[in-house]
Amino acid sequence: MSADARSGLAVPSAPGGGHPAPGSGSGTGVDIGIGTGLGGGPGAGPGTSAEPARSAMAEGSAGHAQARGSARPRAMLDTLRATLAAAAPEWWPVWLGLALLFLPTFVSLFSGAWIGEEQGHGPMIFGLALWLIYRKWPEVRALGPAASSAAGWSVLACGLLLHLLGRTQHILMFEIGAIVLTLAAVVLVKRGAAALRVLWFPFFFMLFMVPLPSEFVAAVTMPMKMAVSWATEHLLFAAGYPVARSGVILQIGQYQLLVADACAGLQTLLTLEALGLFYLNLMRHPSAFRNVGLALLIVPISFSANVIRVIVLTLVTYYLGDAAGQGFLHGFAGMVLFLTALALILAVDSGLQWLARRRGGVRGEGP
């Protein structure tokens, strides 16, 4: 039995392969127009087609529609350029300093932790957080003249010290946490505490990309793996498959599969929780019942999505062999995890919306 660190399942090594099925297709088209003799130049007569004139008019209309469709992205790009040009004299030293400070960190992350499955959500979290800051920045500018906060320099010193410790001692939690702390300090120094209050959610959202201590993750992950293995065994057995379980090892047919941390770990739960909170932030539901309920139900949603992922990988291995289970289809099962979680989040949110409306209707029926 061999284990693959990138996979959520370990299976006995066996050869496997597949052959792509080639395919081809071709088609031709003929455009025939019968004219009515409309034309104003030499050679126009009863046999001249009016279709070219109509085609030219249609092409002109399509060109105008395309120009209108491309005008909006061009206007947004021009606005972004103007905003960056106006902010460049004030912000370019800050951008340059942040680039010099954190560029080695990002190089290490994109060549190490962020290409693995356990921390692979980091770039997505960071990119979405930056987009949220960009989306909220007009509200920051609307606050008026910047009022620098003296506490920002203390926070900046803490962030730089944390970065130094994380970089020199190879502590990933400190190194990534320093990014969040330093960016928050920059906002405090440049725009004040009021701006940080406006941007509180993007910075809170960034905390989900900070890895937790390995001891804590190991202590929490083992019960989660046991629960996912137990649920997978019972569901497949109820469906008639020859499956058995010993701890976190599933036996189906001639294959033994190990449910690894990546298939039922705490990081998956945190990633799905982050996506759920991001969804709530975008929707801006006025109902506190709906917001709190969905945030709490992310935990069972994450568990259900993990069970579905392990079931998919188990069935892929059972029907197609270990090569398919450890190959491309394993990565596809990761997509199944997040698509399943997204579908469950939307379904639960719709149910909570229905309950909130019903509660509001019942309260409105009083005397």
Which of 191, 245, 290, 309 does the annotation list as catalytic? 309
CA angle (138, 142, 146) in 5-degree steps: 105
Q: What is the pLDDT of residues 122-168, one digit of tens each?
A: 888 999 999 999 999 889 888 877 677 788 899 999 999 999 999 99
- CB 337, CB 32: distance < 8 Å: no
Which helix (H) or strand (E) covers residue 43, if one does?
A: none
Percent of the chain with pLDDT over 90: 25
**Helix, strand, coil share of the chain (percent; to 5):** 70, 5, 25
End-to-end, the C-alpha distance of the chain in Å comes to: 70
* Selected residue with higher pLDDT from 203 and 296: 203
pLDDT at 308 over 60: yes
- CB 11, CB 255: distance < 8 Å: yes
Which of 191, 245, 263, 290 does the annotation list as catalytic? 263
* Selected residue with higher pLDDT from 329 and 16: 329
263 catalytic? Reply is yes
pTM of the model: 0.65
Q: What is the pLDDT of residues 326-355, one digit of tens each?
A: 665 566 666 667 777 788 888 888 888 888
Give the pLDDT score at 182.
95
Q: How far is the C-alpha of 130 from the C-alpha of 213, rounded, in Å?
A: 25
Q: What does the mean pLDDT of the chain come to? A: 75
158 catalytic? Reply is no
